[in-house]
Amino acid sequence: MAASPAPALSVLDLVPVRTGQTSAQAVAASLALARRADELGYRRYWFAEHHNMPAVASTTPPVLAAAAAARTDRIRVGSGGVMLPNHSPLVVAEQFAALEALAPGRIDLGIGRAPGSDPVITQLLRMSGTISDVERFPDHIRDILALASDKGATLRFTSGGTYDVHATPAATTTPEVWLLGSSDYSAQLAAALGLPYVFANHFSGTGLERALDLYRTQFQPSALLERPRTFLTANAVAAATGALAEERMLPQARMMARLRGNLPLVALETVEQAAEAEASDHLAAPLIEGLRRRWFVGTGPDVRAGLAAFAAEHGVDEVMVSPVAAAHDDDPMDATPARVETLELLAV
């Protein structure tokens, strides 16, 4: 049987923070990883939006995307995604219009509907009032598309008259807008609006087939997109040996166990710290087999083959990997060698 063709590869970065690492060091490590992804030919590099998590420093995708764009030459950069209920549509449109002006033709605006944090942080994000009403999510997507375009948007007052609004005064190119999600809702909305869609498979392994089917069968062509366009995300760890890849996977598995078990969150453990802790508390043991089935962990050839088969099975030509390989105790604090190695082995 012929091997599946290799899909294009992209990167999703949550900017992990390991034990003892500062935010500055974590960001420096991720920006160096973005430079390496650019050199290796990866298609795009997206930053997630999460809040108040000790192990995650990707709180502001536009800021990180700007820094990554300034340090790269070719790769598309953007958000995976901006959690729209936390933000004003106009501010989002302005931020990404500015990014597009900084790096024309290289900016992606991935938009999600979830808050990206717990209810307390969600309330803090909205202390000045409802920022972006979740029930009006489809309207706000349309607003962003209009505001970021060269024509801008037109407000019509109930008393009569109009008012023109532009996210930037004279746009010549616009960011590419993607809808993100892990449910039927986002798939159906992307189809109705004629937008590209990404299923967040890296944290939700259920509902993938149904979401893609809904998106593809209900898709309505738009001025932005003639036919369905989608790719998938996946957690990946590649190393010189399968055993080493498993070791580097364990800290992330333990963090997932903390999230699912509603346990206190901590900075990401190193490989050595996780192995020592797991030997006594077995925190990740109930999850490991399930994660192995959904994550791609092993040698470079094994992971590349798995990703190719995954892409072929679901009819996509691109996979966005979240390189979840953890650091070792003796790794430099401002670098992420295991994640770099994962990207290098997958790009061969």
Q: What is the pLDDT of residue 113?
A: 87
- Tell me whether residue 322 is in a domain: yes
Q: 348 or 344: which carries more pLDDT confidence?
A: 344
Q: Provide mean pLDDT across the span 233-244.
A: 98
Q: What is the pLDDT of residue 32?
A: 98
| Span 29-65, pLDDT tens digits | 999 999 999 999 999 999 999 999 999 999 999 999 9
- Tell me whether residue 3 is in a domain: no
* Distance, CA of 271 to CA of 268 (rounded, Å): 9
How does residue 90 score in pLDDT terms, banded at 50, 70 and 90?
Answer: very high
Other residues' Cβ atoms within 10 Å of the Cβ of residue 212: 19
- Tell me whether residue 333 is in a domain: yes
* Kind and range of the H or E run holding 96: helix 89-102
Q: Provide mean pLDDT across the span 289-304.
A: 94
Q: Provide mean pLDDT across the span 143-165.
A: 86
Predicted TM-score (pTM) of the model is 0.93
* Residue corresponding to tokens 């590419």: 176
How does residue 117 score in pLDDT terms, banded at 50, 70 and 90?
Answer: low
Asked whether residue 14 carries a pLDDT value surpassing 70, the answer given is yes
Q: Provide mean pLDDT across the span 250-267.
A: 95
Q: Provide mean pLDDT across the span 81-110.
A: 94
How does residue 120 score in pLDDT terms, banded at 50, 70 and 90?
Answer: low
Q: What is the pLDDT of residue 114?
A: 74
Q: 5 or 168: which carries more pLDDT confidence?
A: 168
How does residue 126 score in pLDDT terms, banded at 50, 70 and 90?
Answer: low
Residue 313's domain spans which residues? 8-347
Q: How far apart are the two ends of the chain, measured CA to CA in Å?
A: 22
Q: What is the pLDDT of residue 293?
A: 86
> How many domains, the chain?
1
Q: What is the pLDDT of residue 124?
A: 61
- Tell me whether residue 2 is in a domain: no
Asked if omega into 300 is within 30° of 0 (cis), the reply is no
Burial class for 309, CB neighbours closer than 10 Å (0-12, 13-18, 19+): middle
CATH number of the domain to which 116 belongs: 3.20.20.30
- Tell me whether residue 181 is in a domain: yes
How does residue 147 score in pLDDT terms, banded at 50, 70 and 90?
Answer: very high
Is residue 334 within 8 Å of 245, Cβ to Cβ?
no
- Tell me whether residue 1 is in a domain: no
How does residue 205 score in pLDDT terms, banded at 50, 70 and 90?
Answer: low
Q: What is the pLDDT of residue 115?
A: 63
Q: Across 21-175, where does the E strand assignment appear?
A: 44-47, 76-83, 107-112, 153-156, 162-165
List % helix, strand, coil for the chain (3-state, nearest 5): 45, 20, 35
Asked whether residue 265 carries a pLDDT value surpassing 60, the answer given is yes
Q: What is the pLDDT of residue 136?
A: 83
Asked whether residue 132 carries a pLDDT value surpassing 60, the answer given is no
Asked whether residue 129 carries a pLDDT value surpassing 60, the answer given is no
How does residue 338 score in pLDDT terms, banded at 50, 70 and 90?
Answer: very high
Asked whether residue 2 carries a pLDDT value surpassing 90, the answer given is no
- Tell me whether residue 330 is in a domain: yes
Asked whether residue 156 carries a pLDDT value surpassing 90, the answer given is no
Q: What residues does 112 pair with on adjacent strands?
A: 83
Q: Provide mean pLDDT across the span 123-137.
A: 62
How does residue 160 score in pLDDT terms, banded at 50, 70 and 90?
Answer: confident
* Distance, CA of 213 to CA of 254 (rounded, Å): 32
Counting residues of the chain whose pLDDT is more than 90, the rounded percentage is 77
Asked whether residue 145 carries a pLDDT value surpassing 80, the answer given is yes
Is residue 74 within 8 Å of 68, Cβ to Cβ?
no
- Tell me whether residue 191 is in a domain: yes
Share the mean pLDDT of the chain: 92
Asked whether residue 131 carries a pLDDT value surpassing 80, the answer given is no
